[in-house]
Amino acid sequence: MKKEKKNEEYEFCAVCKLNHNQGRRHNYFPNHVKSRSAFLTRFQSKLADVRFFLKNPSLLRPEHASRNRLWCVFCGSDIDGLGSTFACGNAIAHLVSADHLKNLKDFLWKYGGGMDHVDSFRLSEVDLARWEKKCKLLKTDGASDRSRGVVIGPVNDIQLNSENIDTFIQSLNSSFSNGVVEPLQIYTNERYQVSHEIFRVQELGPLRQDADSYLHVGTQLDNNACSSNYFTGKILLWVEFLKAYTLSGYSEVPSLQVRVAASTLCSSDQPPGLWLHRLLMLSSNLVQVHRDERTANSECSSQGLQNLTQISSIVCGDAIGNVHSGAPPPWLDSSEGKQLDFKRSPFNKSRKCSKLNPKRVGAAWAERRKVELEMEKRGALAKNFDANWLPNFGRVWQSGSRKESMKEFEVETKKSSKVETQCEMPMQLQPYVSKKMVSFTFTFTALYALVVLSYALTFTALYALVIL
Amino acid sequence: TLSFKFHQQPDCAKRQRRRGRERMSYVLRTLRKKREVDSIIRDTIDTVLVLRFGRALDPICLQLDDILSKSEREVSKFATVALVDIDSEDVQVYVKYFDITLIPSTVFFFNAHHMKMDSGSADHTKWVGTFLRKQDFIDVLEAIYRGAMKGKLIVSCPLPPQRIPKYQLLYKDV
């Protein structure tokens, strides 16, 4: 005995974003499973950002608070960065909360996520405690001491590099000593982008020697009794260099120093914009120094304020031509034959598909007529149709086929035309002779003629006898 | 003579009367000879041919002509529209053949075959009277085209009875 199908109420599946009346079965449908995994993956990526800040707490500047929003899909609520001193502070607090856990469990139960994934979408109290400790340390340490300490560590292992570093340092010093205050030439989000990128960069590999050398430069400067501003500037520059490094395709990035740099960046009180600008200009020199180490075609130019990858087209260049020189596009040249063939075959198919129904009304007539028209076009086959041609018409009070009705009509027309012609002939007056009379007279005359003939014969016979 | 079906004359009719005859001729073809009618029936291939039999100045005819001229372009891909003047002598053969007693009468052809439509009235061979809306005409035309493409010589009318103009058909002048 089969179960009777329940007529379930419609409910909304937030994962698939559709209304269904499948009830609990819906959670096992493949489409739902797909949507669910995509949904959860998306949220996980957002949580990954939050987790980063959990491990590396950094001070949240008020201007960046608006970017610190998170929409918690389980609770259906926005978590913004108001009132939190550290980046993603509110989000972290939310993720630890009991309410969130409850909502998470409800969601997973409702949409069938598997209850073992609960921990991946929330943060434990242990994590929270660790994070809070780090935050405290961050607050108390201020900017430089801690960071400097860390920097000096690996310095002992570093080798000094070539003259270009020295020249670079000199140029840097000169620019710094000018002390010209320049207006902010980049938007503040540039800095955010920079710092943000650095955070991502952190995930990548081991140290690289050249980078170390520059770090050493930094420390040297420090030893030359520069102010903390200089140091910040150095860090920024170095940050820029790192970015250039990553953009050029190197996957090796110093991790420890980046973290340091990041923390100092965030904690500095200077408007970084102007420093950044200057350092961008200067770091471009750095980049060019290492050009030969990079691949031929791509290079990173941090000239100006945009971080676009410049592709040098010297190799490909002028021989072939481009849009401006009016050259044909590459796809036409190579695959012209292919293109046309591709065009033709579906076109043929569509032609065939639009062939008219052979069973349609008057199909045979239409085909014949088409042929006739073509012949007329070509050879002037002036086959004019009969003036009395009539179309196939079914009359109103029709009984029988349409041909019969046509015949009827023709008969009727003939009759009407006959009647007309008869009326036109002149009337001749004649005496009325009845048929009987005609017949009678005919017989009478015939008899009379016979009698006369018989008399004539007897008389001639008698005469002949008398004479002889 | 046909009596008025509507209380007010449509505005287009008034304008057209002022301007004189053959208002619609610049949009729709008017045929006056049997030969012309024959050629248009024979030359319209794989599209519905709409032949309106009537007089250009008759008010109901005018309204129908207005609807026909407005929708002629829209249906041009599957239909052709032409007007036949019943006052010309040459065409009287057709007037008799098609049993036209009331005007305007519209006869539909497809590939020189006559298409009938059952609209609930006595006469299925033609459409007598005008259409209430342009869309009604297009619906009727579409029904005929669909039926013809399937091979049906008679189709049923898609309009509800209240939208079909009513008239009395006399049987052999009785």
According to the 3-state scheme, what is the secondary structure of A355-376? CCCCCCCCHHHHHHHHHHHHHH
Q: Does B4 touch chain A (CB under 8 A)?
A: no
On whether any CB of chain A is under 8 Å from the CB of B148, the answer is yes
Among residues of chain B, what percentage have pLDDT more than 90? 24
Note the pLDDT of residue B26. 61
User: Closest chain B residue to A403 measured between Cα atoms?
Assistant: B113
Residue B115 gets which letter from DSSP?
A: E
Q: Touching check for B123 and chain A: CB below 8 Å?
A: yes
A363 and B111 in contact by Cβ < 8 A?
Answer: yes
Q: Which residues of A touch B148 (CB under 8 A)?
A: 360-362
Whether residue B34 lies within 8 A of chain A, CB to CB, comes out as yes
Closest-CA residue of chain A to B101: A396
C-alpha span between B75 and B67 (Å, rounded): 12
Cβ pair A361:B93 closer than 8 A: no
Name which of A91-100, B18-27, B62-71 the model is least confident about.
B18-27
The Cα A270–Cα A262 span in angstroms is: 14
Which of A396, A406, A416 should be substituted to probe chain B, the one whose Cβ sees the most B Cβ atoms within 10 Å?
Answer: A396
Verify whether the Cβ–Cβ distance A396 to B45 is below 8 Å: no
Q: Is A284 left (phi over 0), alpha (psi -120 to 50) or beta?
A: alpha
Query: How distant is the Cα of B158 from the closest Cα of chain A, in angstroms?
Result: 19
Concatenating the DSSP letter of every residue in B32-55 gives -SHHHHHHHHHH--SSEEEEEEE-
Residue-level pLDDT at A170: 62
Give pLDDT, residue B137: 92
B99 in helix, strand or coil? coil
The pLDDT score that the predictor gives to residue A296 is 42
Contact (CB, 8 A) for B119 and B157: yes
B33 touches chain A (CB under 8 A): no
When scoring A360, A361, A390 by the number of chain B Cβ atoms within 10 A, the one with the most, hence best to mutate, is A361
Q: Are strands B127-128 and B113-118 parallel, antiparallel or unpaired?
A: unpaired
Nearest CA in chain A to B126: A396
Q: Is B170 on the interface with A (CB under 8 A)?
A: no
Mean pLDDT per 10-residue interval, chain A, length 468 residues: 64 89 89 91 89 81 73 84 74 88 90 82 87 85 52 43 54 53 49 46 43 44 45 54 52 44 45 50 49 45 57 58 76 56 46 65 86 83 68 71 76 77 61 71 78 90 87
3-state helix, strand, coil in chain B (%, to 5): 35, 20, 45
Given this model, what pLDDT does residue B15 score? Answer: 54
The encoded tokens of residue B19 equal: 């301007």
Q: Is the pLDDT of residue B82 over 90?
A: yes
Question: Is B53 part of the contact surface with chain A (CB cutoff 8 Å)?
Answer: no
B35 chain-A contacts, CB cut-off 8 A: 387
Q: What share of chain A is helix, strand, coil (3-state, %, to 5)?
A: 65, 5, 30
Chain A interface with B: residues with Cβ < 8 Å: 356-357, 359-363, 365-366, 369-370, 373, 385, 387, 389-397, 402, 409, 413
pLDDT digits (tens, 9 = 90+) for A93-148: 888 889 999 999 999 888 887 787 788 888 888 888 888 888 888 888 765 554 44
What pLDDT does B23 receive?
A: 43
Question: Is the CB of B78 inside 8 Å of chain A's CB atoms?
Answer: no
Which one of A357, A365, A370 has the shortest CB-CB distance to B112? Answer: A365
- Straight-line distance from the first to the last Cα atom of chain A, in angstroms, rounded to the nearest whole number: 138
Q: What is the pLDDT of residue B68?
A: 92
Enter the DSSP assignment of B170: -
Q: Which chain A residue lies closest to B144 (C-alpha atoms)? A: A361
Structure tokens of B4? 């008025």
How far apart are the CA of B165 and the nearest CA of chain A, in angstroms?
18
- Give the gap in angstroms from C-alpha B42 to the nearest C-alpha of chain A: 8
| pLDDT value for A347 | 47
Q: What radius of gyration do chain B's Cα atoms show?
A: 15
B50 backbone dihedrals φ, ψ, rounded to 5°: -110, 115
Q: Is any Cβ of chain A less than 8 angstroms from the Cβ of B99? A: yes
Does residue B67 have a pLDDT over 70? yes
3-state DSSP call for residue A468? coil
| The pLDDT value given to residue A281 | 56
pLDDT of residue A254: 44
As a whole number of angstroms, the distance between CA B27 and CA B65 comes to 10
C-beta separation of B27 from B69 below 8 A: yes
Q: What residue of B is the nearest CA neighbor of A407? A: B97
Partner residue opposite A361 with nearest CB, options B43, B97, B111: B111
Contact A362/B149, CB-based, under 8 Å?
no
What pairs with residue B115 in β-bridges? B108
Q: What is the dihedral of CA A363, A369, A371, A377, to 10 degrees?
A: -150
| C-beta atoms of B114 and A392 within 8 A | yes
Residue B142: which pLDDT band, with cuts at 50, 70 and 90?
very high
Distances in whole angstroms, Cα of residue A181 to Cα of each of A233, A277, B146: 14, 12, 81
CA distance A287 to A164: 12
CB B81 within 8 A of CB B104: no
